[in-house]
Each structure stands twice: as structure tokens, then as C-alpha cells.
Chain A
């Protein structure tokens, strides 16, 4: 019940296209949903995060869509750029656990020029 399932495992898009990564969770106690971006040889870095009281959050080219009833959330990257090529992780956290996060398996995004 603590799992966060992420898809697809890998994604290839052309420059200027839209990248979409999906995540699903089971534990309804989760109340915080961040997305992390990781470049090779680096630690993950927070990209954008959402709480379940809103259905969408946008920051620049990055948007999180959240569907509480379906227990799903997704990351949309508009106008994808080669510099966006990285591994993306969704995660979920529970407010009663001091910020503990459960991560998805990751999606390797490649943006071709």
C-alpha cells in the first residue's frame, strides 16, 4: 500500500513536444506529491510539488495534474528541450511521518534536438 507506480520507464520526445509521465498510488493518507529531476552523477532535485487540495499546479513549462478520486498524478513538460533530458521521479509523502517520501521507479526522458 506504500507503493508509488510510475510509467513509462523511458520516454523519447522531439524538441518542442510534450512529455507526459504518470504515477499512481494506493495509500489515501498520502498528502504531498513532489516530482524530482535527476541528472547523471547528481542527486535528485525538486522540480515541482502539489497537495491534494488542488487539481493542477503550473510552474513555467512544468505542470502537475492531480486526480484524487483516481489516485493518480502526472507531470507534463511543455515545449520539451534537450536540456530536459534526465530521469524523473514522482514521490508521495504522508504528513504524519515527518516528511518521509516514497519514490516511484523513475522515467528516463530523452529529448531529441
Chain B
């Protein structure tokens, strides 16, 4: 079974530039998550999709961050314009949503963003 794919793996940009990250979840997984992991901290949920609908985006800085999941499969996360404090690893995770409330979240390798 293929895992969660993310690209690019690394990205360096200047502040005020824009950047986009891509995630392809595990086939059949209805739920997709984007997390921000700042160095030395635990992952923080930015946005959660159930199929192509947003379930939770309460911690997404909507003035600069946006995300979409067209057709309920792949997803992109965009930052425009980037700030220095956006330097972090952006993790995508997916889970199969069945009859249980909880299903294991499978994480991708992440995209390490450096904003200069």
C-alpha cells in the first residue's frame, strides 16, 4: 500500500513570496489533514477535510493560508504572502473514515519550508 505522498520535500522562499504544497493521500482515505510542525513542537492542525468538504479550519490563518481538496482526493495548501514565522514542516495526513470515530492517521514525510 502506497503511503501519503507530499511534494516538494524542501522549499526556500523569501518573505512575502507565495508557495504551494501538494498532498496525495492513501487511496480510499476520506479524511485529509494539514498540520504545521514548528521546530521543537508537536504538529498543529491547520485544516481537516472530509472528502472535499472542510470539517475544521479554526487554526488556519485565513488571511494568508488557503487549502483545497478538489474531487475529494489530492489537496493543495497555499501560503500567500509568506512570513518568517511560517518556517516549519508542513505535514499531510490521511485516515479512512468508517464506522469508528477514530481511525489511524497516516502521515506523509512533510515539506520543510524555510522563509528568509
Query: Contact residues of A with B, CB < 8 Å?
Result: 4, 6, 31-32, 41-46, 49, 89, 91, 93, 95-106
Query: Once the chains are docked, how many angstroms separate the CA of A100 from the CA of B45?
Result: 8
Determine if B93 and A106 form an interchain contact, defined as CB atoms under 8 angstroms apart.
no
Chain A positions within 8 Å of B109 at CB level: 41-43
Judged by a CB distance under 8 angstroms, whether B56 is at the interface is: yes
Determine if A46 and B102 form an interchain contact, defined as CB atoms under 8 angstroms apart.
no
Determine if B107 and A44 form an interchain contact, defined as CB atoms under 8 angstroms apart.
yes
Query: Once the chains are docked, how many angstroms separate the CA of A98 from the CA of B105?
Result: 12
Determine if A43 and B110 form an interchain contact, defined as CB atoms under 8 angstroms apart.
yes
Judged by a CB distance under 8 angstroms, whether B95 is at the interface is: yes
Separation in Å of the B78 CB from the closest CB of chain A? Answer: 20
Residue of B nearest to A43 (CB): B107
Determine if B56 and A100 form an interchain contact, defined as CB atoms under 8 angstroms apart.
yes
Determine if B40 and A106 form an interchain contact, defined as CB atoms under 8 angstroms apart.
yes
Determine if B42 and A98 form an interchain contact, defined as CB atoms under 8 angstroms apart.
no
Determine if A98 and B97 form an interchain contact, defined as CB atoms under 8 angstroms apart.
yes
28 A-B pairs with CB atoms under 8 Å apart are A31-B101, A32-B101, A32-B102, A42-B110, A43-B109, A43-B110, A45-B107, A46-B104, A46-B105, A49-B104, A89-B43, A95-B101, A97-B55, A97-B56, A98-B48, A98-B55, A98-B101, A99-B31, A99-B97, A99-B103, A100-B48, A100-B55, A100-B56, A103-B43, A104-B42, A105-B41, A105-B42, A106-B40
Contact with A along B21-49 (1 / 0, CB 8 A): 00000000001000000001111110010
Chain B positions within 8 Å of A89 at CB level: 42-43
Interface of B (DSSP majority class):
loop
Determine if A44 and B56 form an interchain contact, defined as CB atoms under 8 angstroms apart.
no
Interface size of B in residues (CB-CB distance below 8 Å)? 25
Residue of B nearest to A89 (CB): B42
Residue of A nearest to B58 (CB): A100
A-B contact sample (16 more), CB < 8 A, given A43-B109, A105-B40: A6-B42, A32-B101, A43-B91, A43-B93, A43-B107, A44-B107, A49-B102, A97-B55, A98-B56, A98-B97, A98-B101, A99-B31, A99-B105, A100-B45, A106-B41, A106-B42
Query: Once the chains are docked, how many angstroms separate the CA of A54 from the CA of B4?
Result: 31
Determine if A43 and B4 form an interchain contact, defined as CB atoms under 8 angstroms apart.
yes
